[in-house]
């Protein structure tokens, strides 16, 4: 027998799930949220938020190491990595507590346990059931008109290599590691790998990053990747691209990693290995087969309203296989809640979703690269402006990188934007807003930007689309 009835039951309390729950409650629906670990999910607890805290520490250390440039000298400076990790945990805990408060304020019942779908349903009142194995023991069954699957993803591992959480790590173990390794091999030069490389190197760890594809940050613009690679080389972070991991073995002092590339086989010795090659969806053990929910390669396909093939069952976030980004999950959660409530909503444009990497220099982008735009047959112009000519960047002594805008010749539609440099993750929203509301580079260029600011680089790149950048 079901012991509770809800309009919406959300399984998973990460940035997709808890946002969906809040929006549904705002729309007058009775909501339960089932979470088996911690509210905030990977993002707040073991991913986005704590890594940004550690990266801030790394940035401060980097600045202190450049005292000569700023006219000061430090003697006897020591950096305590354990304290940095402690600070990152405090930041995470504060935000998680804030989410708990939001749940209470919005009248959302949080059920601590593991949720499983029980059979199918037609979407009518009380036809879906979620069985919950409670953390505290025992179980409950929630009868609900709708279910939102927001179970996220977990670290993907290399076939044949099982992380042990001690010497072979995933982001989950690495983010709480207070004992800084003296040396590390990071497998994967995507955002997670590059951000950890930055943090660990700044505290004195000797880091080697291994990437199977031809360049670091392989999903980003090729010129952007080149700027990041050049800066990592300056920071003495070793990048091995076009390099395949063949195997590893434990040694008395750590791990021996065997890789191959065009130079042949190499042996890398390190204290620890971090495997950062992406994520896999948490779609197993959810009762999806019994409920008739279609699964493709582990992901749950959805339509523009986040509906699965089963009426009343929705899915959002990493488990959908769209874009494994916290802000995408949140946006999907809002759409799902609005569709369930019958409220007006907006279709998501996944190509306009911002993508950010927070290493130094930062990387931010959306939309098509030049290669992708050409492959699709677009006739486009490119406006580019280098931070080397930006007054604020020079004042910050953070001048590497550029802003690049791609625009369709005839319509002026912004096809994509690619940035690398100081605080570009904070500059991106202006261009995303322009794309969303179909503004053109002309309108960005004509918007007066305060001087001196980093955002002037956006204005200059927009002028550059027409070959009229003022300071280029």
Active site residues: 451
3-state secondary structure 52-63: HHHHHHHHHHHH
Strands 362-367 and 168-169: unpaired
* Angle made by CA atoms 143, 147, 148, in degrees to the nearest 5: 150
Six-digit token pair at 107?
């009248």
Task: Tell me how far the alpha carbon of residue 26 is from its chain's centroid.
Answer: 26
Six-digit token pair at 29?
């629906």
Q: Give dist(CA 274, CA 226) in Å, integer.
A: 23
Asked if residues 8 and 29 have their Cβ atoms less than 8 Å apart, the reply is: yes
First to last CA, the chain: 71
Asked if residues 111 and 132 have their Cβ atoms less than 8 Å apart, the reply is: yes
Number of other CB atoms surrounding residue 264 within 10 Å: 7
Collapse the DSSP code of 123 into the 3-class scheme (helix H, G, I; strand E, B; otherwise coil) and give the result.
Answer: coil
Q: Which residues of 361-394 are buried (b: 16+ CB within 10 A; e: fewer)?
A: bbbbbbbbbbeebeeeebebbbbbbbbebbebbe
3-state secondary structure 301-314: CCCCCCECCCCCEE
Q: Calculate Rg over the CA atoms of the chain.
A: 24
Burial of 31 (0-12, 13-18, 19+ CB in 10 A): buried
Q: Give dist(CA 38, CA 45) in Å, integer.
A: 7
Asked if residues 362 and 420 have their Cβ atoms less than 8 Å apart, the reply is: yes
Q: Give dist(CA 130, CA 286) in Å, integer.
A: 10
């Amino acid at each position: 027998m079901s012991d509770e009835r809800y309009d919406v039951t959300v399984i998973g309390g990460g940035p997709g799930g808890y946002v969906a729950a809040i929006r549904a409650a705002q729309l007058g629906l009775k909501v339960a949220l089932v979470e088996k670990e911690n509210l905030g999910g990977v993002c707040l607890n073991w991913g986005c938020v704590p890594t940004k805290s550690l990266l801030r520490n790394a940035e401060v250390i980097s600045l202190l190491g450049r005292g000569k440039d700023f006219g000061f000298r430090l003697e006897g400076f020591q950096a305590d990595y354990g304290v940095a990790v402690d600070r990152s945990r405090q930041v995470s805990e504060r935000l998680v507590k804030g989410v708990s408060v939001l749940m209470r304020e919005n009248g959302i019942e949080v059920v601590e346990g593991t949720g499983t779908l029980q059979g199918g349903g037609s979407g009518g009142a009380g036809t879906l059931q979620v069985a919950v194995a409670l953390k505290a023991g025992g179980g409950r069954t929630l009868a609900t008109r709708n279910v939102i699957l927001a179970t996220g993803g977990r670290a993907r591992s290399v076939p044949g290599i099982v992380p042990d959480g001690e010497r072979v790590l995933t982001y989950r173990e690495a983010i709480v590691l207070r004992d800084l390794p003296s040396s590390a091999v990071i497998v994967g030069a995507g955002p997670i790998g590059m951000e950890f490389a930055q943090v660990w190197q700044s505290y004195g760890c000797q880091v080697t990053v291994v990437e199977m594809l031809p360049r670091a940050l392989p999903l980003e613009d090729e010129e952007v990747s080149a700027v990041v690679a050049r800066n990592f080389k300056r920071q003495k972070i070793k990048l091995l691209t076009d390099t395949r991991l063949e195997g590893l073995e434990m040694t008395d002092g750590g791990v021996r990693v065997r890789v191959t590339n065009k130079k042949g086989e190499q042996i890398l010795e390190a204290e620890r290995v971090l495997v950062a090659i992406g994520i896999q969806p948490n779609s197993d053990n959810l009762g999806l087969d019994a409920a008739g929910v279609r699964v493709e390669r582990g992901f749950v396909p959805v339509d523009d309203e986040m509906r699965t093939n089963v009426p009343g069952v929705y899915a959002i976030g990493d488990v959908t296989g769209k874009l494994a980004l916290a802000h995408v999950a949140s946006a999907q959660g809002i759409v799902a809640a609005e569709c369930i409530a019958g409220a007006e909503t907006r279709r998501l444009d996944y190509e306009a979703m911002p993508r950010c990497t927070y290493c130094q220099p930062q990387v931010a982008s959306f939309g098509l690269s030049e290669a992708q735009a050409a492959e699709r047959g677009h006739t486009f112009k490119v406006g580019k402006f280098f931070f080397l000519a930006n007054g604020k960047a020079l004042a910050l002594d953070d001048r590497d990188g550029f802003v690049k805008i791609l625009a369709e010749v005839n319509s002026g539609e912004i096809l994509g934007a690619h940035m690398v440099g100081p605080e570009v993750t904070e500059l991106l929203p202006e261009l995303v807003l322009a794309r969303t509301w179909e503004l053109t580079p002309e309108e960005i260029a004509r918007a007066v930007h305060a001087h001196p600011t980093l955002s002037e680089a956006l204005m200059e790149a927009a002028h550059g689309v027409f070959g009229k950048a003022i300071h280029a």
